[in-house]
Amino acid sequence: MPLPRNWPGCSGVSATMSSSESAIVVERLCKRYGTLLAVDDVSFAVAKGELFAFLGPNGAGKTTTVEVIQTSRPATSGRVMVLGMDVARQKSEVVKRIGVLPQGFSSFDRLTVRETLQYYAKIFSSRIDINTLMDLTDLRGKAEVQFKTLSGGLKQRVGIAAALVNDPEVVFLDEPTTGLDPHARREVWEALKGLKSRGKTIFLTTHYMEEAEFLADTVAIIAKGRIIAVGSPTGLTERHADQLRLTLKMRQPRASGEGDRESMRSAPEIVRSMGFRSAAASDDAICVPVDSAEDVRRILAELHAAGVEMRDIDVRKPNLEEVFLKLTGDTAVGTVNRASAAGVAI
């Protein structure tokens, strides 16, 4: 029975993106649930062979967007092409060439890992060697174990293996590491890197910034149903968080030492007197945004000269997390939304 489709198409929109180089092209995608516009006029493209990370806070519209792309949810309007095929019209063709790890993957409790993969291989009529697939995802040792008894990390790896049974060209992974411990997360990352090295296009949905930073070629940030930034992790951080951040922790002042108390009081003042903004990070620590390593050296020299004793010094490069927080913060979203609506993209 065909799935219900509501596919009015977008009037006045011309296909501007080439689909020959792109694995995925999304044009003016909208998805509405009653009065809620979950995905609001989203457009982007994913190049073949790249690892594309789709970032966004909970409820931003990530999963809805992905589900439209991977054919399991109809769009309200807009067009989505996967490998040059329209997902609304060629669902059965698209499905054969993509692999999906849905959010919170689970499988039949009482089937073993081998049986689970055999089932998925059968429904895709794939002749893939299950042993090779299990080796690739490091599941060989668990081949005869029932799914229900596996740990969270192993279950996710079964999900990744199940997404690969048809040797797909595009692999969708929706929050593959959510709920995993750091060790299991690293294992999943290694598996993803392996996939990428085999030339797969990977569409990764996550809300872990370090994951995107570690793995992605391209990052798109979505908030409140709209794409607010697209670019490489480095490009995004350079553009949106261009300052280093220096955090200084002072030694606790000795009760009897008058001079120490004075130097404590003066540390933020010294920094401010040099023309930097400083903010108290805690009782005995300050945080200073700086532009260069030279600034750091100057501040440290000045404080040292003033007799301030430092317990800890931390210089941090801006990272995706700061970009994300800045862009998805309530105030930021409004301005960036306007910017992106006006056609400003990275």
Following DSSP, what letter does each residue of 270-337 receive, concatenated? HHHHTT---EEEETTEEEEEESSHHHHHHHHHHHHHTTPPEEEEEEE---HHHHHHHHHSHHHHHHHH
Query: With respect to another protein, which residue has the nearer C-beta, 162 or 227?
Result: 162
Q: Is the CB of 31 or the CB of 196 nearer to another protein?
A: 31
Tell me how far CA of residue 51 lies from CA of 4, 229, 317, in angstroms: 31, 16, 23
Least distance from another protein to the Cβ atom of residue 68, Å: 9
Complex with another protein: residue 191 or 303, whichever CB lies closer? 191
Judge residue 54's burial from the number of C-beta atoms within 10 Å of its C-beta, 0-12 exposed, 13-18 middle, 19 or more buried: buried
Cβ nearer to another protein, comparing 84 with 104:
104
Beta strands in 120-243 (DSSP E): 170-174, 201-206, 218-223, 226-231
Is 177:152 a contact under the CB 8 Å cutoff?
A: no
Q: Which is nearer to another protein, 16 or 125 (CB)?
A: 125
CB of 278 to another protein, least distance (A): 46
Cβ-contact 63, 102 below 8 angstroms: no
| Cα–Cα dist 219/204, whole Å | 9
Quickly count: other Cβ atoms within 10 Å of residue 307's Cβ: 11
Task: Express the helix, strand and coil content of the chain in percent, nearest 5 each.
Answer: 40, 25, 35
Nearer to another protein, 19 or 146 (CB): 146
Q: Terminal CA-to-CA distance of the chain, rounded, Å? A: 42
> Quick one: 124 or 214, whose CB is closer to another protein?
124
Given the rule CB under 8 A, which residues bind another protein?
Answer: 1, 3-4, 33, 67, 70-74, 92, 95-96, 98, 100, 102-111, 115, 119-120, 122-125, 146, 159, 162, 172
- Closest separation between CB of residue 145 and another protein, Å? 13
Task: For residue 135, give the H/E element and its range.
Answer: helix 130-136
CA–CA separation, 215 and 235 (whole Å): 14
The minimum distance between CB 28 and another protein, in angstroms, equals: 21
Q: How many other CB atoms are there within 10 angstroms of residue 274's CB atom?
A: 14
C-alpha angle 63-54-42 in degrees, rounded to nearest 5: 75
Supply the minimum distance, in Å, between the C-beta of residue 140 and another protein. 21
CB of 123 to another protein, least distance (A): 5
Min dist. Cβ of residue 76 to another protein (A) = 12
Residue 66 vs 223, nearer CB to another protein? 66
Q: Shortest distance, CB of residue 16 to another protein, whole angstroms? A: 28
